[in-house]
Amino acid sequence: METPKKGLSLFALTMIAIGATIASGIFKTPSGIAAKVYSNETIIYLWIAGGLISMIGALVFAEFGSRFANAGGVYTYLNKAFGPMFGFLYGWCLLIVISSGTIAALCTVFAENINYFLHLDESMQPLLAMATVVVLTLFNTFVLKSSEWFANIGTVLKIIGIYGLLALALMLGKKGIFDAAMVAIEPGALPKADNLAGAFVGVLWSYTGWHYASFVSGEASNPKRNIPLAMILGTGAVTLTYVLCNLGYFKVLDHDTIASFAAEGVNKVVAVETMKVIMPGMDYLMPALISLSVFAGAGLYILSTPRIFSQMAKEKLFFSSFAKTHPTYGVPVNAIILQSSWAMVLIALWGSFGSIIEYVTFVEWLFLLITCIGIFKIRAIYKDETPAFKTPLYPILPLIFIACVGWFIFKNALADKAEYYVGLAVIPLGVVAYFFFKSRQTKSDATDTL
């Protein structure tokens, strides 16, 4: 079996955790959240809550990472805790829903923003998004070092740009950050729980990605130390960035204006409109920054997640052709092409950014919830082993994560959304696929013993 090349540093892994998280969310989701939640204070609390939940998840996953340093991340953790079927189902949903859907969403946003400069007909944007997937796929078949530099430089430039906007917004904005919204609700009324759950889709979508450094742990230097640190450092940096960005938006635009951007047929982005107010004539800078952000983010997903499909194939739970790595570049090129091809199908299928993230977020956080539950099983199975990192305040922190994410999933499961139902339907199809590949595995093993 081929041994992955070692070399991803703590800095590179942290950039993966940050870059895979900060992509489109902080630019696209604030308007949808404002449309569902009627006070700026509550919105800030939601972003803080999302950061805290993600940090707790990162602490739990850090223990997993310190115990199991081989490549695979969540796939490996579920495999160790609950057996190969759960690991397979995650890998299956990663391909059909989570990672491919994320790439589709990010490339859709890229097409929308780069078109600010190209001025193509709006009907051409899906084709532009698909072309973006192709370009990123070609790039990520190159040597690992090229992808690492791409991730590092893209993420650093993105952070510099975001904090530049933030500084300008806080200095030049004239609004009161916590000015009351003018929507017609009773004074002092709290947002309905359904609205909070719906708004949390955008928040959790924006925070998704902190665990992606664990997917390339097989290519990391000192993974038992660096994978946990990368997830924790990345999550902390993202939380600070998101909270400050929302404060900056509120300093420039009032709540109702931000919420109005979520209306059907309104093609406005909060970050771009913020720049228009504070630096008229320079608003082209924000589409450029957003394009860079989502381009780098999509590249990170294309880089990291095909390792899971490759691992599944090596374990004979997927087609063997996806186990192969490129003889020159050392990357699982067939798995990368498969994921990218399906991402283009999802662009054509769903069409809009909002539909894609609802399709993705619900399923992804369901698996993060199941993985967190697995920490109790892992502690029981490996009770005689002491990991390099242990989740602090165990079992309180895992239980908080389970309760919060469980509430989010339950409330949104009650919503009448086709995107949620289609995403969930992929899971039973995955059970059928698992037994198909399991039967092939059994026959292959029997042949090998003859």
Is 66 within 8 Å of 382 (Cβ atoms)? no
- pTM for the complete prediction? 0.83
C-alpha distances in Å from residue 303, one per residue of 129, 192, 315, 318 = 18, 40, 21, 19
Residue 216 has pLDDT above 80, yes or no: no
Q: Which residues of 115-136 are buried (b: 16+ CB within 10 A; e: fewer)?
A: bbeeeeeeeebbebbbebbeeb
* Per-position DSSP letters for 199-242, written without gaps between them: HHHHHHHHHTTTTGGGGGGGGBSSHHHHHHHHHHHHHHHHHHHH
What sign for the dihedral angle of Cα 30, 239, 60, 154? Answer: positive
| pLDDT at 448 (0 to 100) | 59
Preceding amide of 428 cis, omega within 30: no
The correct answer on CATH 1.20.1740.10 for the domain covering 10-442 is yes
* 363-373 per-position pLDDT tens digit: 999 999 999 99
Helix axes 270-278, 223-252, angle to 10 degrees: 50
- Per DSSP, 114 falls in state H
Among the listed residues 275, 16, 311, 297, the one whose alpha carbon sits nearest the alpha carbon of residue 162: 275
Measured in degrees and rounded to the nearest 5, phi and psi for residue 8 equal -65, 120
Is 270 within 8 Å of 24 (Cβ atoms)? no
* Per-position DSSP letters for 170-207, written without gaps between them: HHH--S-TTPPP-SSS-TTPPPPHHHHHHHHHHHHHHH
Q: What is the dihedral of CA 224, 377, 430, 306, to 10 degrees?
A: 0
Residue 146 has pLDDT above 70, yes or no: no
Percent of the chain with pLDDT over 70: 86
Helix count (H) and strand count (E) of the chain?
Answer: 18, 0
Residue 403's contacts (CB-CB under 8 Å, 6 or more residues apart) are none
* 121-139 per-position pLDDT tens digit: 888 889 999 999 998 888 7
Residue 179 has pLDDT above 70, yes or no: no
Measured in degrees and rounded to the nearest 5, phi and psi for residue 220 equal -100, 150
Residue 348 has pLDDT above 80, yes or no: yes
| pLDDT at 305 (0 to 100) | 81
Residue 331 has pLDDT above 80, yes or no: no
Residue 91 has pLDDT above 80, yes or no: yes
> How does residue 4 score in pLDDT terms, banded at 50, 70 and 90?
very low
Mean pLDDT of the chain: 83
> How does residue 39 score in pLDDT terms, banded at 50, 70 and 90?
confident
C-alpha distances in Å from residue 326, one per residue of 4, 216, 322, 340 = 12, 17, 11, 16
* Per-position DSSP letters for 13-80, written without gaps between them: HHHHHHHHHSSSHHHHHHHHHHHH---HHHHHHHHHHHHHHHHHHHHHHHHHHHH--STTTHHHHHHH
